[in-house]
Amino acid sequence: MSFQHRPTSHAPARVELCPLTLADQDEFCSLVRASAELHHPWMQLPSTTEDFRGWMRRFGDGTNLGFLIRVRGTGAAAGMVNINSVIRGRYQGASLGYAAFAPSAGRGYMAEGLTLALRYAFDELRLHRLEANIQPGNEASSGLARRLGFGYEGLSPAYLYIDGAWRDHERWSITAPSSWQPDPSLPEV
């Protein structure tokens, strides 16, 4: 199963969104190790077999979804995106985590892949709101969120435990297009 980028211009689609599986373990861990300087101190991703297998357990119940952003034609993984902590009921939202892999960074693949993730979250999952929580100073990540239409909402002090400390994060959010309507069969909670 993969979700292909549907370009808004006549440019050919360059990436696809592929569900992350245990079979991706070696490639993922290798890319995380190769991207250590790019990711530090902003995020910690699993870089060993044991850590990867533990991390993959979080995707078993449907409230967290993991994807690789793959370059069409070559199949190379350019980055990853997670739709985390899906909450239904009146909220219909989730948080978004993402990271580029160093060998493909700076080529625009992440913007295209995140566009696919937004489409999937809004069109397929029927979510209304997505948040991206980004550490102050991570200009690459906040710039990408801004370009994709996320709006800055404020600072959450000591929000996530990363690299041995509780880190402040900026809250960025985006909501579904105004034409989106919730599924009337969803229970009100």
C-alpha closest to that of 180 among 121, 96, 111: 121
Q: CA 184, CA 164: separation in Å to the nearest integer?
A: 44
**pLDDT tens by residue, 63-114:** 999 999 999 999 999 999 999 999 999 999 999 999 999 999 989 999 999 9
Full-model pTM = 0.86
C-alpha closest to that of 111 among 68, 147, 152: 147
Q: CA 126, CA 120: separation in Å to the nearest integer?
A: 8
**pLDDT tens by residue, 39-65:** 888 988 999 999 999 999 999 888 999
Q: Where are the domains of the chain?
A: 3-175
What's the topology of domain 3-175? Answer: Aminopeptidase (3.40.630)
Q: What angle do CA 124, 24, 32 make, to 5 degrees?
A: 100
**pLDDT confidence band for 141 (50 / 70 / 90):** very high
The kind and range of the H/E element at 158 are: strand 151-162
